[in-house]
């Protein structure tokens, strides 16, 4: 199955799932119409509910479903959908508020039916959910705390909304619909059980042990993991995994990192991690022998998805070199002969991660390595400044548009390079980049 075809299949499946409740409403005996706006508002409520339900599915990290798109895109999709679904929920409320305010019960929960209060609280929780997710950093919410908050708020808001629908009960009164609706609800509940209980249990049965903690240049550390009692993880070079360190997999304290080791070895997995945040600063304190868990591999940022390419151009900045290093090390192990370029941006020469090993790789690969420094030493003879269109034109051959490009670095660099490549008439579908920094 081609990636395009499977993408279409998964997208149709997604739409069917979102639209199912509306279709269920239309079959069988339907209560008489209650005016366009009333019925429109109710339909929006049901549709938004289905969209929120599918959100659980999107973040369940089903590897096969995410493979054609890349899981980073799924998370972006999840984010946009959440905002749109919230708008629909709010419209559901607003239409009644404007068009038929008498049908609304008093706000005070003591004077009103529980299911109307449930609906209102659910709306407020969904709002809170969106605010804390879109503005987590300005609100200074710690990542681990945010994840717990996110899970708690989601489940609460979702259950309250289900209670609201059950309590009102206009549309789902017919027995057949009640069954279908209950089935739909059960499906979501099972999904939560899978994601929060079963999947961590599967991870728990495949533990890893830390076998080395190695300091790299540029405040970075390489963490090596070896499987404990199983054969390890087969991944494509450039992919990543969610890493749980020093915690049980049920604690949901996991963080995504790219593999930096060769994919030819699945019994020793390495991650190169720069000290940037609360969690990454603790990597250096890790002890050999400590337990770790992995959820992966994920991602479409890999040379293995473009096996027929005549050559590859890697463009990385700082620790963005980690997945590129994984691809280069893998290509060495496979005795690669195609031409390769690595344009590597850093601030200072001392901070260039993998500097010595990259020099050595030039002996074993058709690799042209171009260092670009923003703060070059006084005797620097190489490239300096940013990776601009002019630099790309100078470094790359005239037939640059036939290669596949892998881009991994800070967003300003990534944007500038994409524009540069576009100006050099490299088709955008040949420029691959991973979106990270999701929340």
Alpha-carbon distance of 131 to 100, in angstroms, equals 29
| 156 contributes a contact to other proteins by CB under 8 A | no
Measured from the CB atom, is 98 or 428 closer to other proteins? 428
Q: Single out the segment in contact with other proteins by CB under 8 A; choices: 156-164, 165-173, 305-313, 333-341.
A: 165-173
Among 105, 155, 156, 191, binds other proteins (CB under 8 A): 105
Which tokens hold the place of 125?
A: 């929780």
What is the closest distance, in whole angstroms, from the C-beta atom of residue 31 to other proteins in the complex? 7
Among 94, 104, 176, 360, binds other proteins (CB under 8 A): 104
Residue 145: CA count within 13 A, CB half-sphere: 8
| 77 contributes a contact to other proteins by CB under 8 A | yes
Alpha-carbon distance of 95 to 87, in angstroms, equals 12
| 361 contributes a contact to other proteins by CB under 8 A | no
| 102 contributes a contact to other proteins by CB under 8 A | yes
Measured from the CB atom, is 92 or 371 closer to other proteins? 92
| 31 contributes a contact to other proteins by CB under 8 A | yes
Among 22, 27, 197, 202, binds other proteins (CB under 8 A): 22
What is the closest distance, in whole angstroms, from the C-beta atom of residue 218 to other proteins in the complex? 27
Is residue 295 within 8 Å of residue 220, measured between CB atoms?
A: no
| 70 contributes a contact to other proteins by CB under 8 A | yes
| 151 contributes a contact to other proteins by CB under 8 A | no
Among 145, 173, 212, 278, binds other proteins (CB under 8 A): 173
| 17 contributes a contact to other proteins by CB under 8 A | no
What is the closest distance, in whole angstroms, from the C-beta atom of residue 426 to other proteins in the complex? 12
The site that binds other proteins (CB under 8 A) totals a number of residues, namely 53
Is residue 211 within 8 Å of residue 225, measured between CB atoms?
A: yes
- DSSP E strand stretches across 141-246: 208-216, 220-227, 240-245
| 423 contributes a contact to other proteins by CB under 8 A | no
Give the residue from 358, 352, 396 showing the smallest Cα distance to 372.
352
Residue 85: CA count within 13 A, CB half-sphere: 23
Q: What b/e sequence results for 200-236 when a residue is b if at least 16 CB atoms lie within 10 Å of its CB, and e otherwise?
A: beebeebbbebeebeebebbbbbbbbebeeeebbebb
| 8 contributes a contact to other proteins by CB under 8 A | no
* β-pairing verdict for 340-346 and 431-433: unpaired
| 114 contributes a contact to other proteins by CB under 8 A | no
* β-pairing verdict for 291-298 and 208-216: antiparallel
CA 337 to chain CA centroid, nearest Å? 33
CA dist 124 → 12, 86, 295 (Å): 31, 10, 33
| 34 contributes a contact to other proteins by CB under 8 A | yes
Q: What is the CA radius of gyration of the chain?
A: 26
For 35, other C-beta atoms within 10 Å of its C-beta total 10
Q: Which parts of this chain interact with other proteins (CB under 8 A)?
A: 11, 14-15, 18-19, 22, 25-26, 30-40, 43-44, 47-48, 51, 70, 72-74, 76-77, 79-81, 84-85, 87-88, 100, 102-106, 113, 167, 169-170, 173, 418, 428, 431, 433, 435
């Amino acid at each position: 199955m081609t990636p395009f075809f499977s993408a279409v299949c998964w997208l149709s499946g997604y739409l069917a799932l979102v639209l199912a409740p509306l279709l269920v409403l239309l079959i069988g005996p339907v209560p008489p119409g209650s005016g366009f706006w009333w019925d429109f508002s109710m339909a929006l409520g049901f549709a938004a509910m289905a969209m929120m339900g599918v959100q659980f599915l999107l973040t369940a990290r089903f590897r096969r479903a995410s493979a054609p798109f890349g899981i980073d895109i799924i998370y972006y999709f999840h984010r946009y959908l959440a905002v749109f679904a919230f708008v629909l929920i709010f419209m559901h409320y607003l239409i009644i508020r404007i068009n038929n305010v008498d049908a609304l019960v008093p706000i005070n929960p003591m004077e009103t039916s529980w299911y109307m209060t449930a609906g209102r609280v659910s709306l407020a929780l969904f709002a809170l959910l969106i605010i804390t997710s879109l503005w987590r950093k300005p609100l200074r919410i710690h990542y681990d705390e945010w994840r717990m908050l996110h899970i708690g708020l989601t489940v609460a808001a979702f259950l309250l909304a289900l209670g609201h629908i059950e309590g009102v009960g206009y549309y789902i009164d017919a027995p057949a619909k009640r069954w279908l609706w209950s089935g739909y609800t059960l499906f979501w509940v099972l999904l939560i059980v899978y994601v929060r209980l079963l999947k961590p249990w599967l991870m728990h049965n495949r533990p890893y042990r830390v076998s080395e903690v190695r300091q790299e240049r540029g405040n970075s550390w390489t963490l090596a993991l070896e499987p404990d009692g199983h054969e390890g993880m087969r991944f494509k070079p450039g992919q990543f995994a969610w890493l749980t360190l020093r915690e049980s997999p049920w604690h949901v304290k996991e963080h995504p990192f790219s593999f930096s080791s060769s994919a030819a070895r699945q019994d020793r997995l390495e991650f190169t991690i720069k000290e940037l945040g609360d969690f990454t600063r603790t990597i250096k304190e890790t002890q050999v022998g400590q337990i770790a868990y992995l959820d992966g591999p994920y991602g479409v940022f890999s040379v293995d998805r473009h096996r027929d390419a005549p050559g590859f151009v890697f463009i990385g900045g700082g620790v963005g070199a980690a997945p590129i290093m994984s691809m280069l090390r893998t290509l060495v192990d496979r005795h690669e002969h195609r031409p390769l370029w690595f344009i590597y941006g850093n601030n200072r020469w001392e901070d260039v991660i993998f500097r010595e090993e990259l020099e050595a790789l030039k002996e074993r690969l058709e690799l042209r390595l171009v260092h670009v420094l923003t703060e070059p030493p006084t005797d620097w003879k190489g490239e300096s400044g940013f990776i601009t269109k002019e630099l790309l034109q100078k470094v790359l051959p005239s037939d640059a548009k036939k290669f596949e490009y892998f881009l991994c670095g800070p967003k300003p660099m990534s944007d500038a390079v994409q524009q540069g490549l576009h100006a050099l008439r490299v088709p955008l579908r040949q420029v691959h980049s991973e979106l990270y920094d999701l929340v």
